[in-house]
Structures are given as structure tokens and as C-alpha cells.
């Protein structure tokens, strides 16, 4: 411990009340920020706001007027007619009307059986648009007619009504996805008022994400206090002295409150990972306090000056505690190297929280211990000494030492075999995530997701976007061709008026300007120029509408058929489907005419007819007004990244076999696609962060021990632990998702902590004994007991997460408890085995 730290500890023992007051004021200042908390569970925020995939996704949503949607489903399996009964269809009608009246719902785009058109032929060459269900049916016959009409429209079948007739859906577009939970709750209250026998369900990624946020907020208020209670009970079990164990609890609570207050005060939202900061810091923050209490009880003797003992204990533990805190924080700080903003924030604040816990421990623990009375000190020593000699924890620690020394060769070979198998297991890891799977299987969101995806083409969306690179000739170049001198002013004014407008709009306005000019008094030369200009503009504008081309629509149709045949896509909807439906009704109304028209003009005619419907703007969900960009809406029955990745690969295979037409490029959008992008970024980022942190920690170990060999020994337990944990994940088939990914940081940081304390004490004791057998006899008394005790505190401190209703919390709880137990076990078994086998090399190289 350097002179500055020594002076700080001395000051704290002399001015404890000042320390109390300072810590209280700082904690209260940061606590004042907590009411400003904002929850964020949007997976889009896993990507930086400027990430190309996210920017393009948002551009597509804006350009095609696509909105996040809640999916409301109704299923009736008890009636032979399914949902196509007067009773159920009436309920659908009533619920639809109620939903449209909810604030935040985009009623114009809501899709329900009662809000879409039935497209039929009035007579050859004439098409009729009628509401599919303008009023609830009063008879079974009317209900059956609605079912038949829906079956004739591929755009609606398996989207609004299932093929088996047992289910119907309502797609509820919303203005703000952050209001999806509130809107869903209002829909549920409307459904509760129905008296029908049908079962109603609500799902969709927006409501799943927002509901997770609501439940996550509740979980934050439960898990952290439960973790605190668990740790309190463990500390009481270890020390049997309530006044004493208040000290580590104060350190933990102050660390958590200051860290969370800082996060919220700086304007960061609380995401799924940052919601776990409190539960991560709570057990970690008490570790140094437990080391201080353990050594203090061992060193303090009756009659000795209390403050001298405190300063001696802290001085002795200062360096290993500093290094363990730094290495733990580095493990978390390494997460800042990932390209995932919420993970960066999580790593930054947990890393800082660990350093804060160290500083708080160094300041508060000496101040608190300096005010303890003699009776409390005697009770502490009595309990600790009894535990060192005869407690179950001490007995376990001693038995581990005896086992490690007796079977050292077998242990080394066994760990080597486990390591090899674990490396293979890592190669089997499957990267996958799905926000709906964040809920338990019996959760209403998860149940709704399963039921509706079994009945429909899919409630998950992805968009294939085809764009044309074909540009219109600049207006200035068009106007300059053969311009008569008498029209110089008109051309100049026209060009100036059009400047700044989109090129397509410039052409549209130019056609109007030419028409106006033609109706004025013009000369023959001017007439010839204007008519030629009009023809060129019309031709250029027509040719620019590339997605009115039958050939391009046929290419899209071929792509859709390829996707449908794979079984990976439930259904796809595109501009091709719109033209085929309208073309069929314009011609014969028979399925044989369900084809793409054979000319650009015929395609344009079908689309013009389609805009005569009650929902003319639906066309612009599939194509932009200039017809230079079109969208294929994919419906998927699974939101798993693996399934979406297979769809992407399928499209890539198709475009390799069937190259995109000239000047056409393909892009992706949709939540399902964005999830794949951020997962890929996360994996690459986590690997970089883990490697970087590993190298930094190794260098620190060499510097700390001033020995390359001891540096390598310190890295041994964490290497085995990380490899084993992730190898096990691959072997058991557990998906590698975000919570699993960030566990590497905790494993790296905390696994080396045990090794630092073990190796530092081993080297110190060996300097005194000069005998390895005596060294380990001492090591597997108080030091090993302290390591075991700390491992239990941290591992059991995470167990409240096992009772959470949310899967990510359960996952973190299971694996963190396992990591702590395994890393402590590896430290106490492998290090003495390796040191014993390499005694001559290891201690020969140590600078005495």
C-alpha cells in the first residue's frame, strides 16, 4: 500500500463520522436521480443509431409507411365452422371498432376482416371493391360467404384468416412502439367484456418488448433486494454478528445506489443488461469486505490497538484487493469494445461500480471497524476462529486441499481432458435469440405466439427491398435540347421553380407546366419544341417506373415461389400479388387469369384500379410512388435468429443462381433481420473484447507477481472456467444469446480474483516456511476458507434470479452461480496440483 493510501486509511480510522457523513451525502445525491429512470427494451437499440442496417430499416419504414404492429388473434376450435360463425365474427367486428378508437392506433392501416376489401369482378373489364364485412353477419350462410371470399384473396388468406378456418387475426399498427403495452392492456380489457367461447391472444414483437420492459422494471425491484437479503443471511451465517455485517451491506448498497443513480442521471436508459447492474454489483461489492473481516479477526488480539490492526490488515490486503478489483473491472470494461450500445453501457457502469466498491470498502470499512466495541470484537473472533477450525466450510476447504495434493496428476490430466472436450463444445455453440423467448413458456405472450404461429403464416416480419439504380435525365439537360431562343425565359423560370424538388416530382410538375404552355399562344417552332419535350418527359417518366415492368414482377414472383417452397417462410406478399389479384378480376374472375399482366401499361392499369378501393394507400406499402423501389413482406412463424439467417442464405442462393436484373439491388429490413445483424456484431465484438481483456489481465498478473510463471498460473483457473462454461453451453445446446455473451466478462474478472488471493498468500507463506507441504497446510486453513466463503457469497447472491419470471434473469442466475462455484473449485484444485508438480521450477524462478 502506497503512502497516499496509507494516509487515507489512517484518516478514516481517525475521522469515522466524517466518512459516514460523506458517504451518506454522496449516496443521497445519486439516489435523487433514480426517479428519472427510463426503461428501454427495444432490440433495435442493440445497434448504434447510425449503423447502416438500422438507418436503412428506418428509411424503409418511413418510405413504405410500415409501422410496428400488435397482433390480436382469435381461435375457435370448439365449433365446426371455427371463427366463421355469426357470434365470433360479431366479436371480431366489435373488437376491431373498439381498437380503432384507442389513442395511438393508426386506424387507417389497421387490418381486420371488417376493414379490408373484397375484390370481385362486376362484369368483364370491371372490378368491384366492397367491404369484406361491412356489418356483423346474421346467419351461418353469410359467415360462410365471408370465409369463401377471404380464401380467394391470397393477400389476406393465412394473414387475416387461417386456412383451416379456426383462427382470425387483427393487425394493429401503432404510432409509438413504446406504448404497445398500454395499448395491449386496453385491448385485453375490451376482450374481457366479450361473452363468446373463442380464445383471444395478443402477441407481436412490439408488445413482447414493451411488456418485458414493464416486468423487467418490477423484477429490478424484487431481485436486487432479494440478493441483498440473501447476502445478509449468508454473512450472518458466517459472522453471527448483525452490527458487524451491516458494514459490508452498507458498502454494497452504496455502490449499487451510486452506480444506478449515475447511469440514470447521465441520461442513459435502463436496458435488459443494465437492469442487472444491481444484481451483479451486490455480491461482488461485499467480497473485499469479507476478506478484511476474515483477516481482521485472525490478526486482532485483545489489548492491541484496534486502529493499528485495521491499518495493518488493510495495508496487507490493499494490493491484492486493488488488483482483483482492477482485473474484475477490466473484464467488464472490455465489453465497451463491442459494437452493441447497451452492452457497452453495462460494461462501463459495472466496471466503474467494482472500482467504486473497492474505494468504498477502503474508506468505509476502516471507519466502521474503528468504532466497534470490545464485546463485538470478541464475538467476531470467537465465531471466526471456530469456523476456521471446525466449520463445514473449513472442513470442505481442507478436504479439497488434501484431495488436490494426493491426486494431483489425476486432476491435471482430468482438467486437461475437460479442457479439450470444452474446446470442442465451443465449436458447437449456436448463436440465437428471440425477444419472445425472454418469457417463460407458460407466459401469455409466449402462449399467444405459439398458438397464432401454428395457425397463421407468421407473426414475425422481414422485408426484402428491391431498388432501382436507374436515374432520370436531369431536367436541365432535357430542357436544353433544341430550345428555341423565344422560350429562354420560360425555360429559365421553369428550371428555377423546379430546383430543389425530387427528380420524379420535377418531371410531374414539368408535364403540368408544358400543358399550361401549350394552351397559350405559341409559335410553330415553340409548339414543336414543347411537344417533343412533352414526349421525352413522358417516355423518361414511364421508363423510370421500373417496377411496373412485367419482367421484374415475374422475377419477384419467382423469388417468392422459391421462398415458399423452402418451408422457411410462412408467406410473402408483394406488388406481384396485387397485380395478379386485380388482373384476375378484370379478366374472367377465374384462377387461370391469376397472372401478371403482359405489358407495363396493363400493370399500370391494374394498380390504378387497385387504388379505387377503400384502402388506396395500401399500394404504397409495396411500392414507392415513383415505382423505383418495391418491398416484399415476409411472414415468418419463428423469430429465432437462426431461422432468419437461413432465410437470408436462401435469398442469397437464389440471387446467385438467378442474378438480379440490371440496375437492381437488394436490401433487407424488418425487426427479424435487425436481430440477426446485432447478434453477428455481438459475437464478433465479444470475441475482440474477451481477447483484449485476457491479454491485459495477463500483463497485469505478470506485473503484480513480477513473475511470468506466476502470471501464467493466475490465468490458469479463468482459462479453464471460461472454456468449460462455454463448452458446456455448446454441448447442452443452450442458445448463445446476449446474457450468455456478457458472462465471459464476469468469468474473466472474478475467476482471476480467487487465483490472485491464493497465489499471493501461497508465495508469502512459502517465503516464511520454505516448505511447500507446510505452505499448503496453512493455505487450506484460513485463506482457502475465505476463498470458499467468498465464492458462496457471490454464487448464492445470484440465486434470487432463479425465481424470476423472465428467462434472461434465470439464465444469468444459473450460469453466474455455476461460474463462481467452478472458478473457486478450479482454483483450489488445479493450482496446488500444478504448483506441487512444478515446485522446483516455480519457486526457483520466484524472486525471494
DSSP string, 754-773: HHHHHHHHHHHHHHHH--HH
CA dihedral sign of residues 588, 589, 593, 596: positive
**Given this model, what pLDDT does residue 72 score?**
95
Nearest to 71 by CA among 647, 463, 637, 573: 637
CB 481 within 8 A of CB 641: no
For residue 724, give the C-alpha cell: 468449460
Rounded Cα–Cα distance for residues 787 and 40 (Å): 37
Does residue 848 register a pLDDT over 50?
A: no
Instruction: Record the cell numbers describing residue 158, joined without a space.
Output: 393465412
Position 1 scores a pLDDT of: 61
Residue 121: strand pairing partners: 127
Residue 276: band (very low, low, confident or very high) from pLDDT cuts 50, 70, 90: confident
In contact, 193 and 783? CB cutoff 8 Å = no
Cα angle: 93, vertex 97, 102; to 5 degrees? 145
Q: Identify the pLDDT of residue 301.
A: 72
CA distance 448 to 444: 6
Residue that is written with C-alpha cell 390480436 in the block:
72
Strands (E), 291-337: none
Average pLDDT over residues 730-759: 79
Q: What is the pLDDT of residues 474-521, one digit of tens each?
A: 777 777 777 788 888 888 888 888 888 877 778 788 888 888 888 887
At a CB cut-off of 8 Å and minimum separation 6, what does 567 contact? Answer: none
What pLDDT score does 745 carry?
63
Q: CA 583 to CA 124: how far, in whole Å?
A: 11
Cβ proximity of 714 and 826 under 8 Å: no
Question: CA 745, CA 748: separation in Å to the nearest integer?
Answer: 5
Distances (CA, A) of 131 to 70, 134, 804: 22, 5, 47
Q: Which three cell numbers stand for residue 105?
A: 392506433
The CA distance from 209 to 674, in Å, is: 14
How far is the C-alpha of 716 from the C-alpha of 829, rounded, in Å? 11
For residue 156, the 8-state DSSP code is T
Task: Measure the CA–CA gap between 328 and 341, rounded to whole angstroms.
Answer: 20
User: Nearest to residue 404, comparing CAs of 17, 779, 6?
Assistant: 779
Strand partners, 665: 467
C-alpha cell at 31: 439516489
pLDDT in tens, 785-838: 878 888 888 788 778 888 888 888 888 888 888 888 888 889 999 999 999 998
Give the per-residue pLDDT at 385.
59
Q: Give this prediction's pTM.
A: 0.81
User: Percent of the chain scored above 70 by pLDDT?
Assistant: 96
Read off the pLDDT band of 113 (50, 70, 90).
Answer: very high
Three-state SS annotation for 782-837: HHHHHHHHHHHHHHHHCHHHHHCCEHHHHHHHHHHHHHHHHHHHHHHHHHHHHHHH
User: Exposed, middle or buried by CB within 10 Å (0-12, 13-18, 19+), for 312?
Assistant: middle
Contact 560, 635 (CB under 8 A): no
CB atoms within 10 A of CB 699: 11
Say if CB 808 and CB 735 are below 8 A apart: no
Tell me the CA distances in angstroms from 610 to 119, 129, 192, 585, 606, one per residue in order.
Answer: 9, 9, 37, 11, 6
Which of 353-357, 358-362, 435-439 has the lowest average pLDDT? 435-439
pLDDT of 531 over the 50 cut: yes
pLDDT at 191 over 90: yes
List pLDDT tens digits, range 659-679: 999 889 999 999 899 988 988
Q: Is 745 left (phi over 0), alpha (psi -120 to 50) or beta?
A: alpha
**Closest Cα to residue 327, out of 739, 2, 790, 718?**
718
Q: What is the mean predicted confidence (pLDDT) over 733-740?
A: 81
Sheet order of strands, 167-173 included: 167-173, 69-75, 199-203
> What's residue 828's pLDDT?
92
Q: What is the pLDDT of residue 296?
A: 80
So what's the pLDDT on residue 380?
A: 65
SS3 123: strand
Query: Mean pLDDT in the chain?
Result: 87
Number of H helices, E strands in the chain: 31, 9
The per-residue pLDDT for 265 is 94
Give the DSSP letter string of 361-398: HHHHHHHHHTT--HHHHHHHHHHHHHHHHHSHHHHHHH
Q: In degrees rounded to 5, what are phi and psi of residue 686?
A: -65, -40
- pLDDT at residue 278 in the model: 85
Q: Please tell me the distance from the alpha carbon of residue 806 to that of residue 225, in angstroms, as a whole number.
A: 17
Which residue in 793, 791, 797 sits closest to 819, CA to CA? 791
What cell numbers appear for 399 in the block? 478436504
**Rounded Cα gap, residues 818 and 488, in angstroms:** 82
Q: What is the pLDDT of residues 288-310, one digit of tens each?
A: 888 888 778 777 777 677 888 88
**How far is residue 229's CA from residue 280's CA, in Å, rounded to a whole number?**
14
Q: How far is CA 165 from the centre of its chain?
A: 36
Write out the three cell numbers for 323: 488488483
Place of cell 430550345: 483
SS percent in the chain: helix, strand, coil, step 5: 70, 10, 20
Strands (E), 183-335: 199-203
Q: Are 681 and 338 in contact (CB under 8 A)?
A: yes
CA distance 320 to 313: 12
Q: Is the dihedral of CA 306, 308, 311, 315 positive or negative?
A: negative
Given a contact cutoff of 8 angstroms between Cβ atoms, the answer to whether 287 and 794 are in contact is yes
The C-alpha atoms of residue 700 and residue 752 are separated, in whole angstroms, by: 11
334 close to 228: Cβ distance less than 8 angstroms: no
CB 200 within 8 A of CB 124: no
φ/ψ of 567, rounded to 5, equals 85, -5
Q: How far apart are CA 803 and CA 285, in angstroms?
A: 22
Q: Which residues pair with 69 in a beta bridge?
A: 173
CB atoms within 10 A of CB 657: 8
Q: Please give the DSSP secondary-structure letter assigned to residue 82.
A: T
* 372-401 tens-digit pLDDT: 777 767 766 666 555 554 567 778 888 888
Instruction: Please give the Cα distance from 784 to 787 (Å, whole number).
Output: 5
Closest Cα partner for 756 from 700, 689, 825?
A: 700
pLDDT score at 437: 85
Amino acid at each position: 500500500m502506497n503512502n497516499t493510501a496509507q494516509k487515507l486509511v489512517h484518516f478514516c480510522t481517525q475521522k469515522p463520522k466524517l466518512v459516514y457523513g460523506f458517504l451518506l451525502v454522496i449516496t443521497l445525491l445519486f439516489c435523487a436521480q433514480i426517479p428519472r429512470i427510463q426503461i428501454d427494451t427495444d432490440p433495435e437499440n442493440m445497434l448504434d443509431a447510425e449503423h447502416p442496417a438500422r438507418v436503412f430499416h428506418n428509411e424503409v419504414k418511413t418510405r413504405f409507411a410500415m409501422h410496428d404492429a400488435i397482433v390480436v388473434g382469435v381461435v375457435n376450435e370448439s365449433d365446426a365452422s371455427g371463427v366463421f360463425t355469426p357470434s365470433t365474427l360479431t366479436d371480431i367486428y366489435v373488437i376491431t371498432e373498439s381498437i380503432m378508437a384507442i389513442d395511438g392506433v393508426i386506424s387507417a392501416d389497421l387490418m381486420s376482416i371488417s376493414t379490408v376489401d373484397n375484390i370481385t369482378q362486376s362484369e368483364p373489364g370491371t372490378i368491384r371493391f366492397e367491404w369484406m364485412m361491412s356489418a356483423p353477419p346474421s346467419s351461418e350462410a353469410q359467415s360462410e360467404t365471408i370465409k369463401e371470399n377471404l380464401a380467394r384473396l391470397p393477400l389476406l388468406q393465412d394473414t387475416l384468416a387461417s386456412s383451416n378456418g379456426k383462427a382470425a387475426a387483427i393487425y394493429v399498427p401503432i404510432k409509438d412502439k413504446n406504448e404497445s403495452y398500454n395499448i395491449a392492456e386496453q385491448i385485453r380489457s375490451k376482450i374481457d367484456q366479450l361473452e363468446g367461447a373463442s380464445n383471444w391472444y395478443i402477441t407481436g414483437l412490439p408488445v413482447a418488448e414493451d411488456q418485458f420492459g414493464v416486468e423487467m422494471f418490477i423484477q429490478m425491484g424484487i431481485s436486487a433486494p432479494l440478493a441483498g437479503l440473501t447476502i445478509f443471511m449468508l454473512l450472518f451465517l458466517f459472522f453471527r454478528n448483525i452490527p458487524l455485517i451491516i458494514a459490508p451491506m452498507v458498502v454494497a448498497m452504496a455502490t449499487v445506489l451510486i452506480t444506478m443513480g449515475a447511469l440514470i442521471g447521465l441520461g442513459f436508459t435502463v436496458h435488459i443488461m443494465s437492469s442487472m447492474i444491481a444484481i451483479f454489483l451486490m455480491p461482488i461489492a461485499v467480497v473485499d469486505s469479507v476478506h478484511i473481516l476474515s483477516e481482521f479477526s485472525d490478526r486482532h488480539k485483545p489489548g492491541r490497538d484496534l486502529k493499528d490492526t485495521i491499518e495493518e490488515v488493510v495495508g496487507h490486503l490493499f494490493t491484492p484487493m486493488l488488483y482483483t478489483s482492477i482485473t474484475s473491472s477490466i473484464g467488464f470494461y472490455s465489453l465497451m469494445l463491442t459494437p452493441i450500445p447497451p452492452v457497452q453501457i453495462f460494461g462501463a457502469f459495472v466496471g466503474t461500480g467494482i472500482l467504486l466498491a473497492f474505494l468504498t470498502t477502503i474508506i468505509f470499512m476502516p471507519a466502521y471497524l474503528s468504532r466497534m466495541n470490545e464485546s463485538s470484537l470478541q464475538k467476531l473472533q470467537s465465531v471466526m476462529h471456530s469456523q476456521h477450525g471446525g466449520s463445514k466450510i473449513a472442513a470442505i476447504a481442507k478436504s479439497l486441499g488434501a484431495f488436490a495434493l494426493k491426486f494431483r496428476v489425476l486432476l491435471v490430466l482430468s482438467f486437461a481432458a475437460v479442457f479439450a472436450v470444452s474446446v470442442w463444445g465451443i465449436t458447437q455453440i449456436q448463436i440465437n435469440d428471440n425477444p419472445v423467448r425472454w418469457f417463460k413458456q407458460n407466459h401469455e405472450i409466449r402462449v399467444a405466439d405459439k398458438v397464432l404461429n401454428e395457425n397463421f403464416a407468421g407473426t414475425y416480419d422481414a422485408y426484402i427491398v428491391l431498388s432501382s439504380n436507374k436515374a432520370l435525365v436531369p431536367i436541365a439537360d432535357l430542357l436544353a435540347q433544341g430550345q428555341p431562343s423565344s422560350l429562354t425565359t420560360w425555360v429559365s423560370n421553369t428550371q428555377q421553380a423546379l430546383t430543389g424538388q425530387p427528380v420524379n416530382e420535377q418531371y410531374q410538375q414539368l408535364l403540368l407546366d408544358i400543358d399550361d404552355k401549350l394552351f397559350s399562344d405559341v409559335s410553330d417552332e415553340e409548339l414543336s419544341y414543347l411537344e417533343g419535350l412533352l414526349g421525352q418527359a413522358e417516355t423518361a417518366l414511364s421508363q423510370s417506373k421500373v417496377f411496373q415492368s412485367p419482367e421484374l414482377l415475374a422475377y419477384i414472383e419467382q423469388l417468392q415461389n422459391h421462398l415458399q417452397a423452402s418451408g422457411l417462410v410462412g408467406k410473402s406478399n408483394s406488388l406481384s400479388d396485387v397485380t395478379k389479384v386485380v388482373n384476375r378480376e378484370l379478366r374472367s374472375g377465374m384462377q387461370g387469369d391469376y397472372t401478371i399482366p403482359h405489358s407495363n401499361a396493363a400493370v399500370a392499369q391494374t394498380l390504378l384500379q387497385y387504388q379505387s378501393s377503400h384502402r388506396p394507400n395500401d399500394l404504397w406499402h409495396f411500392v414507392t410512388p415513383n415505382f423505383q423501389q418495391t418491398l416484399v413482406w415476409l411472414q415468418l412463424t419463428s423469430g429465432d435468429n437462426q431461422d432468419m439467417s437461413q432465410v437470408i442464405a436462401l435469398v442469397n442462393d437464389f440471387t446467385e443462381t438467378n442474378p438480379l436484373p440490371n440496375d437492381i439491388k437488394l436490401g433487407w429490413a424488418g425487426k427479424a433481420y435487425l436481430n440477426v445483424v446485432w447478434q453477428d456484431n455481438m459475437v464478433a465484438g465479444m470475441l475482440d473484447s474477451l481477447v483484449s481483456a485476457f491479454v491485459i489481465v495477463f500483463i497485469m498478473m505478470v506485473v503484480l507477481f513480477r513473475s511470468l510463471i506466476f502470471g501464467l498460473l493466475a490465468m490458469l483457473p479463468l482459462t479453464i472456467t471460461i472454456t468449460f462454461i462455454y463448452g458446456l453451453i455448446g454441448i447442452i445446446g443452450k442458445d448463445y444469446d446476449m446474457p450468455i455473451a456478457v458472462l465471459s466478462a464476469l468469468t474473466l474478472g472474478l475467476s482471476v480474483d480467487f487465483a490472485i488471493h491464493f497465489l499471493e498468500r501461497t508465495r508469502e507463506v512459502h517465503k516464511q516456511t520454505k516448505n511447500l507441504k507446510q505452505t499448503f497446510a496453512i493455505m487450506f486453513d484460513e485463506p482457502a476458507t475465505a476463498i470458499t466463503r467468498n465464492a458462496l457469497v457471490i454464487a448464492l447472491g445470484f440465486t434470487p434470479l432463479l425465481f424470476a419470471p423472465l428467462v434472461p434473469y434465470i439464465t444469468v442466475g444459473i450460469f453466474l452461480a455455476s461460474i463462481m462455484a467452478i472458478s473457486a473449485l478450479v482454483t483450489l484444485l488445479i493450482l496446488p496440483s500444478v504448483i506441487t508438480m512444478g515446485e522446483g521450477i516455480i519457486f526457483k524462478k520466484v524472486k525471494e
